[in-house]
Structures are given as structure tokens and as C-alpha cells.
Amino acid sequence: MQIPHKIKTLLVLTLILSYVSGTAQKKNDFVVFSGVISNKIEDQIKIYDFQNQVVSEIKLSPEGKFTETLKLKEGFYTLQHEDFSAKLFLEPGSNLSTSFDAKDFKKSLKFSGQGGPVNSYIQKKTSKNWGVAEDLKIRYALSETDFKRMMNKAKASKDSLLLSQVNISENFKNKEKRNINYEYINEMIKYETDPAHYTQNTDFKVSTDFLPELKTFDYDNSEDFYFSNSYKNIVLAHYRKLGKELAERDKHDNYYLSYITAVSSAKNQDIKNILLYEHAKNAIAYISDVQEYYKVFINSSTDETNNKAISQIYQKLLPLSKGNASPKFVGYDNYGGGKVSLDDLKGKYIYIDVWATWCGPCKVEIPHLGKIEEEYKGKNIQFLSISIDKRADIEKWKKMISDKKMGGIQVIADNAWDSKFIQDYFIKGIPRFILIDPQGNIVSSNAPRPSEAKLRDLLNGLNI
């Protein structure tokens, strides 16, 4: 059977249009990002997503040039070169070029291409302070009325800048308009919580009708959550407040568990998954009841990749539960001379302080630890400080022990952060305190700090 010529032509045109459409859809998955960096400091730039995860490492040519095709979702990213960073908005199906001189990053940064107008707007917006006092003590010393006036004026100026932009899509403008409002609300929330710290006025309180916007606020808008960092901060503040209220209601100090319980009540599953994971990837290593925390997480999260990652951490932490045998170290150099192994100290409770000379919070705890040592002198407990300073800094370690008259047994780990004992305890931040019983079993892998009253409660409860 013969097909009429007109029908043949229509079929061919249909196939061509289908091919062109399919090709266009494929292109929409990518952003072509190029640029040149003068006086480059290193041979690469990095792109981070809104969760601060590296999504691309782009190599630079000897001349500082690069071209990369990035398969990314629409949204905000951060370009980083050494210590310099810039906020980017990347949109699949477009191209973006950038250039800057690493010797004068802020003044030389420029954008061009289809994504040029949006990113030039972002650069212009972030380079201004909008009449907002930069000194936080001055900012939070303002009266409620003056603070609101300042922030409303900044909001109006930002709105005006956005309105003046050309060659920017209405879709972006609409989202950015909402973002500017979220920036205002976020600053209002900070004014409610931060002045007590910066002005030392512990009695500070805002008026009851200070922020009426929160009465009808939608905490489940995933589009704005991905687009606006200020919206995300508002959502975080909401669940932190709920977590604090849960802890107060249940009369316990396990805030991490209360927070993740509060997050589990979020209606939007995408937002819930992100908040659960961002908290769990760090907090789970510091929680006193890791099993209960993990139970709440795994029952609330539906992201299989996140669940797998947290489950792997959980399996590493289970051996650190109360009553299990403590990981050991052998032959650490002792400030007092010779070598010390953990087994040498069996027969007494051991309170371990993992610290380093470069760690500010560690040094804050030193005088508190000295008071605890003096208070429990002659009792069935040994105080052990393990430095994770590099071996090259051993003299600095010795000098600080001498200068600060640090007591107890002072040892330095064999391989800094990578020491097996440190890795076995899954220590990701210091100071870290550990309590072991006379038989070498774990009492607490995350014991209270010396500055916390609950450390005395713990020790006295053991009749040391």
C-alpha cells in the first residue's frame, strides 16, 4: 500500500520535531559554565550546593581558563577558589561565564552569558549592607521600633533593586521577591533571640505582636526551602523552638533528641528528609542515647541514600554504647615521661579529655577540669588528657601543659586525628569527654564537660 506524499512529509516533519524536542530536553539538564581567573592561587575551583556539599571540582588550565558542563538542579550554589567565594544561581539549559582577578576578587568579579543578568544582580545585592548596622552590638542595642524601621528600609531598597532588573525571568523575580521578605523575617527572628547575648541584657523580650507574619507562616514550602536560605533558616528556627519546648515539657536535657522529634512532625517530606539528615550526620555521634535517636531518624526519613549513610554511622557507634568494652590505645607518649596504655589505668574510673592546643573551646575547659580534679582528688578516678596535636607540635603541647599547670596524666596521640583510638570513638569534634569504669567498660562515650554541673551528678551517682 502506497503512502500519499503529503502524509510522508508530515511523518518526516513529526520525526524531525520529535528529535529536536528530545535534543532540547537533553540540553535542559545541563549548565555550561566557563570562565577565566587571573592570578589564580590554585589549579581548581569548587562548586558547593545549598547543603554545602561539593558537587563539582573544576580544573583550571595554566592560563586560568575553564569550561565545564554541569548537570545540576536549578538553584543557588557557591563558587570557591582558595579562600574566595561567590554566590551563583545556576539554571539548566543556560550558560554562564565568569571572570575575576584573584588579587582583587570582589572588585573584579564579573558575569556574562544567559545567566549573567541574574548573577550580576546577586553580586550587586550581596555587596551592599543596605543601611543595616554591621556591628551586632550596635544593631541589637536598637529599640524594637528603630530596628524594625531599619529592616523595613533595607527591604524596600532590595525590592527596588529587584524591580529595576531587566533580562531576568519573572519566575526568578517572583521567588526572589519572596526571598527578600524571608530575609526580613529572618532578621526579625534574630532580633528576638540574639540581643541577650550581644547586649548582655538577659531580661530582653520583644513585644507580643512583634512578628505577626509567623502566625500564618507556611513552614512546608519546598520550592522556597530550596531557593531561599533565609526561608530555610526560618524553618530551622521553628523546629529548634519546638525542640526546646519538647525538652522542657518532658523535663530532660537531651535537646538533640527533642529537636529531631520536632522535625519528624514536618508535613513536607522533602524538607523533613533534609533537616533530619543535616542534623543526624553530625549530632548522632554526640547523642547520649544513640539507639533512641536513630529510631526517630529512621522512622521519619524516606530518603534511602541518607538512611544508608546514617545507618553506617549508627553501626559504628553501637559498640560505643554504655557497658561495652572501651576501645584501647597502646604506648602513647606521656608528658611525665615514658609511655602510657589505657590498660595501665584499669582499676579506677577514667575521665578522658580529648583536646588540642589549637582548640579554643578545649582551652576554655582547662580551668574547669582543674577544679574537678582537685574536688575528686584521692577518689577512685583518674583524669587523663589525650592531645591530638600533630607530632610536629609536641613542644607546643608540652609548653601549654606547663604554662597552664595542667594536672592529671597528659599524653599525646600517635597520629593526631587519624589515631586509631580517636577513630574508634568516632570523634569528629573536640573537646570530647569520655568516662570509663574500673573494668575498662564505657560509662559514657559523650560524657558531660567539666564546666557542666551534670558531670558532678554523674560522678556522684557512681559513688566514686
Q: Which of 10-14, 195-199, 440-444 has the highest mean pLDDT?
A: 440-444
Mean pLDDT over residues 253-266, rounded? 94
Q: In this model, does residue 21 exceed pLDDT 60?
A: no
pTM of the model: 0.82
For the segment 366-421, what is each residue's pLDDT rounded down to a tens digit?
999 999 999 999 999 999 999 999 999 999 999 999 999 999 999 999 999 999 99
| Residue that is last in its domain, among 59, 94, 115 | 115
The reported pLDDT for the residue numbered 85 is 94
Same domain, residue pair 355 and 443: yes
Amino acid 19: pLDDT: 47
User: What is the secondary structure of 298-329 as a DSSP string?
Assistant: HHH---HHHHHHHHHHHHHHGGGSTTSBPP--
User: 356 and 255, same structural domain?
Assistant: no
C-alpha span between 127 and 180 (Å, rounded): 15
Residues 417 and 311 in one domain: no
Does 339 lie in the same domain as 222? no
The C-alpha atoms of residue 330 and residue 342 are separated, in whole angstroms, by 7
Q: At a CB cut-off of 8 Å and minimum separation 6, what does 385 contact?
A: 352, 353, 355, 369, 406, 408, 409, 410, 411
pLDDT higher than 90, residue 212: yes
343 and 456 co-located in one domain: yes
pLDDT of residue 194: 87
3-class state of residue 114 by DSSP? coil
Lowest mean pLDDT among 6-10, 84-88, 290-294, 310-314: 6-10
Q: Check if the beta carbon of residue 86 is closer than 8 Å to that of residue 79.
A: yes
pLDDT band at 26 (very low <50, low <70, confident <90, very high): very low
pLDDT at 5: 53
The helix, strand and coil proportions of the chain, stated in percent and rounded to the nearest 5, come to 50, 20, 35
For residue 289, pLDDT over 90 is answered with: no
Residue 142 lies in a domain: no
Residue 28, pLDDT score: 65
Q: Are residues 277 and 344 in the same domain?
A: no
Residue 459: pLDDT over 50: yes
Q: Where are the beta strands (DSSP E) in 49-83?
A: 54-59, 65-70, 75-81
Q: Is residue 26 part of a domain?
A: no
The reply to whether 185 falls in a domain is no
Q: Is residue 239 part of a domain?
A: yes
Mean pLDDT value across the chain: 92
How many domains does the chain contain in total? Answer: 3
Q: Which domain holds residue 387?
A: 332-461
Within-domain flag for 109: yes
Report which listed range, 23-27, 131-135, 404-408, is most confident: 404-408
pLDDT given at position 20: 45
Q: Categorize the per-residue pLDDT at 63 as very low, low, confident or very high, splitting at 50, 70 and 90.
A: very high
Strand partners, 410: 385
Q: Do residues 316 and 388 both lie within one domain?
A: no
Q: Where in the sequence numbering do the catalytic residues fall?
A: 359, 362
- Give me the CATH number covering residue 91: 2.60.40.10
Looking at the fold, whether 370 and 311 belong to one and the same domain comes out as no
**Boundary residue ending a domain (115, 139, 157):** 115
Q: Are 303 and 292 within 8 A, CB to CB?
A: no
Q: Are strands 31-38 and 65-70 parallel, antiparallel or unpaired?
A: antiparallel
Please tell me the least confidently modeled range out of 17-21, 238-242, 277-281.
Answer: 17-21
User: Which residue type, as a one-letter code, is found at position 211?
Assistant: L
Does residue 250 share a domain with residue 340? no
Kindly indicate the confidence band of residue 202, based on its pLDDT and cuts at 50, 70 and 90: confident
State whether 421 and 451 are in the same domain. Answer: yes
| 122 domain-assigned | no
Q: CB–CB of 457/342 below 8 Å?
A: no
138-176 per-position pLDDT tens digit: 999 999 999 999 999 999 999 999 999 999 999 999 999
Q: Does 396 fall in a domain? A: yes
**Residue range 328-355: average pLDDT?**
97
- pLDDT of 306: 97
Q: Where are the beta strands (DSSP E) in 175-276?
A: none
**pLDDT-derived band at 261, boundaries 50, 70, 90:** very high
356 in a structural domain? yes
| Co-location of 239 and 290 in the same domain | yes
What is the per-residue pLDDT for 112? 97
- pLDDT exceeds 90 at position 335: yes
Whether residue 355 contacts residue 383, with contact meaning beta carbons closer than 8 Å, is answered with no
- Residue at 434: amino acid letter: I
**107-to-60, 101, 153 alpha-carbon distances in Å:** 21, 9, 26
**Domain of residue 382, CATH code:** 3.40.30.10
Predicted local confidence at residue 313, as pLDDT: 94
Domain C-terminal end among 297, 321, 345 = 321
Q: What pLDDT does 17 receive?
A: 47
| Same structural domain, 352 and 311 | no
Cα–Cα distances in angstroms (integers) from residue 227 to residues 50, 239, 271, in the given order: 9, 19, 12
